[in-house]
Amino acid sequence: MEKIIAAFDARRNFGRILQAVLSRGERFVVERHGEPVAAVVPIEVYEQWKKARGAFFARIRATAQRADLPPDEAEALAEEAVRAVRTAPNL
């Protein structure tokens, strides 16, 4: 589960936040004026996200090439996929 923290508090307690992430695997969402603007997560979570994202876009490119879509149609397909990923539940 993630913890919500105000940007000001995150700045004042950044060392403690890093320690909580490192030692206990905690996750933090940093808010500014009540809006989420950043996340502090264990590096493993970030690396998983990068890997999954790269694989996802590689599949999109491969599918577009196999389908021999014109560039504008391939771009539309990629945009649709991005919207689907962004609305999917978090890792």
Which residue, 54, 48, 47, 27, is CA-closest to 38? 27
Q: How far apart are CA 5 and CA 22, in angstroms?
A: 17
Cβ within 8 Å of residue 78, ≥6 positions away: 57, 60, 64
Is the domain defined by 2-41 classed in CATH 3.40.1620.10? Answer: yes
Tell me the whole-structure pTM to 2 decimals: 0.63
pLDDT tens string, the chain, 91 residues long: the values are 899 999 999 999 999 999 999 999 999 999 999 999 999 999 999 999 999 988 888 888 888 777 777 888 878 888 888 888 888 776 5
Which residue, 5, 8, 12, is CA-closest to 40? 5
First to last CA, the chain: 11
